[in-house]
Amino acid sequence: MKTFSKYWSIFQITLINSLAYPGELVGRSLMIIPFMWIFYQLWKVTFSAAGADGGMISGLTLRDTLWYLMLAETIELGRPPIARTMSESVKDGSIAYILNKPYDFLLYQFSTAMGETIFRAMLNAVFGGLTVWWLVGAPNHPEGFLIALPAILGAWVLHFCINAMIGLSAFVVEDVSAFTWIYQKFSFIFGGMLIPLDFYPQWLQTIAKFLPFSSAIYGPSRLFVTPTAEFFISVMTLQLAWIFVLVFLLIVAYRRGLTQLTVNGG
Amino acid sequence: MKELKFLIAIWKTNLQSAMEYRGAFLTQVIGMIANNFIYFAIWIIFFNRFKDVRGWGINDMYVTFGVLASAFGLVSLLFGNAFTLSDIIAKGRLDYYLSLPRPVLLHTVASRTIASGMGDFIYGFISYGMSGYFTWDGLARFVLAMLLAATVFAAFLILTQSLAFWFGMMTNFSNLVLNAMLTFGIYPITLFDSYAKLILFTIIPAALMGAIPAEFIRAFTWTTLGQLLLGAIGFLSLAIFIFNTGLRRYESGSAIQIEV
Amino acid sequence: MTSIEVSNLQKTFQTKRKAAGLSGSIRSLFKPEYSSVEAVRSLSFQMEAGELLGFIGPNGAGKSTTIKMLTGILHPTSGEAKVLGFTPWIDRQKLAYQIGTVFGQRPQLWYHLPAMDTFILFGKIYELDDRETKKRIDYLTEAFEIKDLLDVPVRKLSLGQRMRCEVATSLLHRPKLLLLDEPSIGLDVVAKQHIRDAIKRMNQEEGVGVLLTSHDAGDLEALCKRVIIVNHGQIVYEDRVSNLKRKFLTTKMVEVRYAEEVSKDYAINGVEILKVGNYGVKLKFDTTKTPVDFVMFNLSSVGDIVDITISDPPLEEVIAKIYKEVENSSLMDNPRSRKSIGTM
């Protein structure tokens, strides 16, 4: 119980801390507006060129597509740059100062990451949601948001695991930014951040849907526009499986990194 | 001429310090090339399924993205500080450059090299080579158009970031317009109606960094060359004017509460 | 009871080297060369429970590396250490509950939030119960005189106020041992005194042992009973502060002002004249060579003394002298020792 409240306090203090500069917080979230606008232009033209004005492409209407992309962007833009923060603390040695307190390093990092995520994501959802609402109208399944919520949280856990591993790789390589770009691009392409995976050729869809990137972007976003019980179960099962694997890998990576640190300093 | 010598000296030092972290330098360059390839794959998927967007096809995307990437890369390599100029102004770090007997703007923006820019720069040429529009005189046009696009882009960065002279810290705003510029530059220009296009030639001159250079590279026309030249000269003069006007208001670090 | 026991502790780092110039950069891009740096070399010492021990040395002497090993952050290359009965790098977490740490250049307070928030967070982190935390905060805020600062965002506090809050935070969980790395860095004289007083008080009231690193001799003079001076990763001097003073503070500086003008060829046997002005004289002498009453007698025989100041040279000079002596001698028997500059 005490252990849990420890990390809960860390989460809380980061949450409060993220409100220190509200202007900054809001300003950052405005980014989603031009993104949603340009997605709208692209898909409006594409739907009409495909002769699907008011109709569907691979089971999605223009409205579904836009709301899908809104949630995908919300998840993506809400996540803090964990890999960068961690690799910086590895490189400048400040990781050492986190280690001399009685808490688990990974849980500490996770608590702070979640604290930074919540308000960012909320504001992204608000601005992105208002833009999309104005462009294509209300979502078909507003209740889908609640159903997608566990998957959104799971998506952040996945994101944390991958990013933390990238951050910890700073023990071995000098610079991790290349990995973060490539990871971001993989979530872009295999997570379906510009094009819903449903529009992909079948073989690519099959591959993409099994990779962890789809559990972090496509799963929750698609669940939002199609909130069926059946789909919920399949998304969550796959996601939990990936969480299980990645948490395991992260712990292994952390143990290794720690040995490296204690041998060669910060 | 004297300034050119000075610039070359700065760039040489920049390159040296970038190479100080050898692993970082190589991974950034190679990583950025890979990054761009992966990003572009999404457009291959898109055009594979939907063929074209109002006459704009995958080949046009190759050229547009190519010239934009090279121009972006060139600016990152040679004028890396243009990306963080507003920070430099707002935190009073311009003092250092003002105390030295060299043109302030040039010295400031040239004083940093972003290593990954090398990856973008190289990738742009590869992308053009893969476009199916490749010819030798096309390559010459690519280089020219890319230089002009880079000028527009650098000018755009200086212009928007110089607003910090008036409004102080504005990292978010700078990021916002930078992202808008790049995103609008990459997307097919045929998407936009005439009002949107007006914006893409003026407030956020993304058309001058993507679509127009691409058109010029595919086939020479005086119109596109004129647009590019006019855009480059116009934006550059405007940027220099704004920066110099702002400089008169510069308050140095002392007048501003620095929040670090 | 000993709280720290260190024997033959050693830490060697690997660092990259590169020749100057662009060609050197390119060469190291493909074929990096490494050299090893001995940050800490065969360090042995003991610290009693409740002791105030100063760990003094110039930048790069190995102080921070030692502290990092004592908190379990770094594994030593070889050697043994026990801190409060634990081997730090094995029982890092368990040890963390028992010690407090302050790193002067690495604040633990949340910068944008009031210090109170950090206090409450630390209460949770050290698993104290809320009532206890509250009582403890009251006590510490009184001891460190920070009651009025608790609700102000930390970024608005002065450096000295911030440091007082830092040290108070590190004492929240009643540690038995406090490790302070450069606590007075960047502070002005008044702020330094303030912090030293508070630390002294905590040591007296709660018996918390303090190991303090600094390159400010003033910290040592004001706070510590015993001092260890390190340089190039080795102990060069270890003794009680009072002994250090007795042994090395043998030179006295004297400034005298006379009622009438002084002649330009003013001189006293066995005394070094530093400056002769119209009315005043500044001089220096070694008490082991020239007796004090002899000097005093000669001073007053010149004329009517209006004012006199006698002072010890600053401790910093003394320490600098110790470094120099050791450096010269160790250079003789080990010419490679100059290379061992740490990475702190």
What pLDDT score was predicted for residue C35? 75
- Show which of C211, C226, C246 is a domain's final residue: C246
Flag whether pLDDT at C27 surpasses 70: no
Average pLDDT over residues A162-184: 88
Reported pTM: 0.82
DSSP A141: -
Average pLDDT over residues C229-246: 83
What pLDDT score was predicted for residue B258? 40
A171 found inside a domain:
yes
A180 found inside a domain:
yes
| Chain A CA closest to residue B22 | A174
| Chain C contact present for B7, CB below 8 A | no
Q: Which residues of C touch A25 (CB under 8 A)?
A: none
Distance separating alpha carbons of residues B136 and C326, to the nearest angstrom: 71
C229 and C269 share one domain: no
- Contact call for C113 and A261, based on CB within 8 A: no
C227 and C291 share one domain: no
Q: Report which of C69, C42, C47, C32 is spatially closest to residue C1, judged by C-alpha positions.
A: C47
- Contact call for C25 and B20, based on CB within 8 A: yes
A86 found inside a domain:
yes
Flag whether pLDDT at A265 surpasses 70: no
Return the number of other C-beta atoms located less than 10 Å from residue C21's C-beta.
11
Q: Which residues of B touch A41 (CB under 8 A)?
A: 187, 191-192, 196
Q: Are A106 and A36 in contact (CB under 8 A)?
A: no
Q: Which residues of B touch A179 (CB under 8 A)?
A: 31
ipTM for the assembly = 0.86
Q: Report which of C205, C211, C238 is spatially closest to residue C223, judged by C-alpha positions.
A: C211
- Contact call for C29 and B12, based on CB within 8 A: no
- Contact call for A46 and B53, based on CB within 8 A: yes
Range(s) of the domain holding residue C117: 2-246
Distance separating alpha carbons of residues C77 and A263, to the nearest angstrom: 7
Return the number of other C-beta atoms located less than 10 Å from residue B246's C-beta.
16
Task: Express each pLDDT in C75-116 by its tens digit.
Answer: 888 999 999 999 998 888 889 899 998 887 778 888 888 999
Of the pLDDT bands very low, low, confident and very high (cuts 50, 70, 90), residue B2 is confident
| Chain C contact present for B202, CB below 8 A | no
Flag whether pLDDT at C343 surpasses 60: no
Backbone angles phi, psi at A151, to 5 degrees: -70, -35
Average pLDDT over residues B229-242: 95
Flag whether pLDDT at C236 surpasses 80: yes
What pLDDT score was predicted for residue C334? 39
DSSP B30: H
Q: Which two tokens stand for residue A11?
A: 């989460």
Q: Across-strand partners of C286?
A: C251
A124 found inside a domain:
yes
Amino acid letter at C303?
A: G
What pLDDT score was predicted for residue C26? 63
Distance separating alpha carbons of residues B192 and A41, to the nearest angstrom: 7
C73 and C195 share one domain: yes
C28 and C110 share one domain: yes
- Contact call for C97 and A102, based on CB within 8 A: yes
- Give the SS3 label for residue A221: helix
- Show which of C246, C277, C295 is a domain's final residue: C246
Under 8 Å CB pairs connecting chains B and C tally to 20
- Contact call for B176 and A199, based on CB within 8 A: no
A126 found inside a domain:
yes
Flag whether pLDDT at B29 surpasses 80: yes
**Which spans in B80-135 are helix H?**
85-90, 94-98, 104-110, 116-129
DSSP β-ladder status, C177-181 and C280-286: unpaired
Query: Which residue's entry shows tokens 């970038």?
Result: B18
C229 and C281 share one domain: no
DSSP C223-267: H-SEEEEEETTEEEEEEEHHHHHHHHTTEEEEEEEESS---TT--
DSSP C20: S
Flag whether pLDDT at C340 surpasses 60: no
Q: How far apart are the first and last CA of chain B?
A: 39
Of the pLDDT bands very low, low, confident and very high (cuts 50, 70, 90), residue C335 is very low
C296 and C277 share one domain: yes
Q: Which residues of B touch A27 (CB under 8 A)?
A: 172-173, 176
Q: Are C183 and C219 in contact (CB under 8 A)?
A: yes
Contacts of A17 by beta carbon, 8 Å cutoff, 6+ apart? A115, C110, C112, C113
Q: Are A243 and C56 in contact (CB under 8 A)?
A: no
C145 and C200 share one domain: yes
Type and span of the H or E element at A116:
helix A105-136
Query: Which residue's entry shows tokens 């002084």?
Result: C262
Q: Which residues of C touch A99 (CB under 8 A)?
A: 72-73, 92
Flag whether pLDDT at C338 surpasses 50: no
- Contact call for C29 and B15, based on CB within 8 A: no
- Contact call for C22 and B15, based on CB within 8 A: yes
Average pLDDT over residues B32-39: 93
A2 found inside a domain:
no
Q: Is A231 exposed, middle or buried (0-12, 13-18, 19+ CB in 10 A)?
A: middle
Distance separating alpha carbons of residues C226 and A102, to the nearest angstrom: 30
C189 and C145 share one domain: yes
What pLDDT score was predicted for residue B147? 96
Distance separating alpha carbons of residues B33 and B69, to the nearest angstrom: 10
DSSP C278: S
Measured in whole angstroms, the distance separating CA C336 from the mean position of its chain's CA atoms is 27
CATH number of the domain within which C305 lies: 3.30.70
Q: Which residues of B touch C155 (CB under 8 A)?
A: 259
Task: Express each pLDDT in C251-295 by its tens digit.
Answer: 888 888 888 888 777 778 888 888 888 888 888 888 888 888 888
List, edge to edge, every strand of the sheet that includes C99-103.
C99-103, C177-181, C209-214, C52-56, C226-231, C234-240
- Contact call for A189 and B45, based on CB within 8 A: yes
Q: How far apart are the first and last CA of chain C?
A: 31
C335 found inside a domain:
no
What pLDDT score was predicted for residue C223? 87
The length of chain A is 266
Flag whether pLDDT at C342 surpasses 60: no
pLDDT more than 90, % of chain C: 25
C341 found inside a domain:
no
C140 and C288 share one domain: no
Kindly provide the residue ranges of all beta strands, DSSP E only, lying in chain C, ordered along the sequence: 2-17, 33-48, 52-56, 78-83, 99-103, 177-181, 209-214, 226-231, 234-240, 251-258, 272-276, 280-286, 305-311
Q: Is C260 exposed, middle or buried (0-12, 13-18, 19+ CB in 10 A)?
A: exposed
Q: Across-strand partners of A134?
A: none
Q: Are C188 and C194 in contact (CB under 8 A)?
A: no
Task: Express each pLDDT in A93-137 by its tens digit.
Answer: 778 777 778 888 899 999 999 999 999 999 999 999 999 999 999
Amino acid letter at C274?
A: L
Nearest-by-Cβ selection for B41 from A38, A45, A189:
A189
Q: Are B5 and A156 in contact (CB under 8 A)?
A: no
Average pLDDT over residues C122-134: 90
Q: Report which of A194, C180, A137, C194 is spatially closest to residue B41, judged by C-alpha positions.
A: A194
Half-sphere exposure of residue B2, counting CA atoms within 13 Å on the CB side? 3
Binding partners of A (≥3 Cβ pairs within 8 A): B, C
Q: Are A147 and A45 in contact (CB under 8 A)?
A: no
Of the pLDDT bands very low, low, confident and very high (cuts 50, 70, 90), residue A65 is very high
**Would you kindly state where each structural domain of chain B is located, as residue ranges?**
2-253
| Chain B contact present for C28, CB below 8 A | yes
Report the number of distinct structural domains present in chain A. 1
pLDDT more than 90, % of chain B: 55
Contacts of A85 by beta carbon, 8 Å cutoff, 6+ apart? A167
C316 found inside a domain:
no
Q: Across-strand partners of C13?
A: C37
pLDDT more than 70, % of chain B: 96
Q: Which residues of C touch B257 (CB under 8 A)?
A: none
Range(s) of the domain holding residue A22: 9-264
C338 found inside a domain:
no
Flag whether pLDDT at B103 surpasses 90: no
Q: Which of A150-154, B111-115, C242-246 has the highest mean pLDDT?
A: A150-154
Mean pLDDT taken over chain C: 83
Report the number of distinct structural domains present in chain C. 2
Q: Which two tokens stand for residue A250?
A: 């992260």
Q: Are B213 and B228 in contact (CB under 8 A)?
A: yes
CATH number of the domain within which C32 lies: 3.40.50.300
Looking at per-residue pLDDT, the higher value among B15 and B147 belongs to: B147
Of the pLDDT bands very low, low, confident and very high (cuts 50, 70, 90), residue C28 is low
Q: Are C183 and C191 in contact (CB under 8 A)?
A: no
Of the pLDDT bands very low, low, confident and very high (cuts 50, 70, 90), residue C337 is very low
C343 found inside a domain:
no
A62 found inside a domain:
yes
